[in-house]
Each structure stands twice: as structure tokens, then as C-alpha cells.
Amino acid sequence: MVRRAKYRGFSLPIPNREMYQVFYRTMMSHLRSTSTLQFGRLFDALETGDALGVEKNLYSILSENFKSMQLKDEGDYHLIVAAGAMSRLGRYKISVEEETGNGRTDMIFVPNYPGLPNIVVEFKRTASEDPRAWEKEAAEGLEQMRRKECFHGLKERTLLYGACFRNKKAKALMEMTLRSNQ
């Protein structure tokens, strides 16, 4: 099975699990050792619908591991979260900026194993220092996903996240949808 790392329309084929693990270890070696644990906590929060945990862990990852990095646009956040998603080692098929439903979706995690939820994330970025504006943008991310039906075709439980970033701080909102297998 060929795995693919995708980013902004580019696709990197990873021919097998062993190469996937080498690629993952190389990416993670550039981060501090605690970041692996931090990413694990982030994805635990995503899988369980814990929006506050998502916020807390995103801030921890960004502020501790990317101190000198200027996060200029949504793509920077996509790249960091997608790289961290590799810590799930095959639990999910991950798509970044993929055409779904009636538009593009920032990130979709489709489980490779039963019992795990689908996860769909829409990222927003704001210059506002007002936390109410962050929440409004995160809510707009959820609305955008509903409007564009980005979860079209996903079966079972799907967790939708609207996440708004102000530099390294995040506001995340979550809602769940259930689709039958019929």
C-alpha cells in the first residue's frame, strides 16, 4: 500500500509502512522530544471531541516548539498539524486541502480502523486580539463546513472542528455529525 503525504496540492508517495515510519521519525527529530507526547495529546483530544484540549495542546505545541517561527497563514498550521498527525502511524488517511462535498476542506482524517471517528478541521487565522473574534471565526469554520458539506460521503461519527489561530493561540469549536452506512 502506497501512503501519500499531501500538502498544498503536492503529493509525496511513501511506498510502505517502513518508509512512512522513517519519514515520520525524520520529521519528528526536528522537534523537541516532548513534542511527540504533545502531538499525541492533541490527537487524543481531537478523537474524543475535546475542543478545550485541542486549544491547550495546539498552544503548547506551537509556543514550545516553534518559538521563532512566524506563522503567516493557514498553510503553516496545516503543515504543522499534518506532520504531527504522522504520530498516529496509519490510524488515519489524512488529506490536506482536498476537494470534498461542495468545496475544499483544510484537513480530513478518515480512520483506517473501526471505532475511530472521522475528523474534519477548518482552519482560520485572525489578526484580532479579541478572543470573541477568535470564537466567531471558529464558528464560521464550522458553518463553512456545513455549507460546503465537506463531510459528504463520510460514514458513522464525524467530528467537525473550526479552529481559529491568533499567532500561537487557538480557539477551537467542535460539533458531531452521525451518518448511517446506508
Q: What are phi and psi of 163, to 5 degrees?
A: -125, 125
**Which residue reads 499534518 in cell numbers?**
82
Q: How far is CA 144 from the centre of its chain?
A: 16
* Contact of 101 with 151, CB cutoff 8 Å: yes
What are 118-160's pLDDT values in tens digits?
A: 999 999 999 999 999 999 999 999 999 999 988 888 888 999 9
**Confidence tier at 39 by pLDDT (50, 70, 90):** confident
Mean pLDDT across the stretch 28-35? 56
What are 90-122's pLDDT values in tens digits?
A: 788 888 887 777 878 888 999 998 899 999 999
Regarding beta strands 156-166 and 118-125, do their DSSP bridges make them parallel or antiparallel, or are they unpaired?
Answer: parallel
Q: Which residues pair with 158 in a beta bridge?
A: 118, 177
Q: Give 150's contacts (C-beta < 8 A, 6+ positions apart).
A: 100, 101, 102, 103, 105, 108, 120, 122, 144
Q: Give residue 10's pLDDT.
A: 47
- 24 vs 123, residue with greater confidence: 123
Helix count and strand count (H, E) for the chain: 5, 7
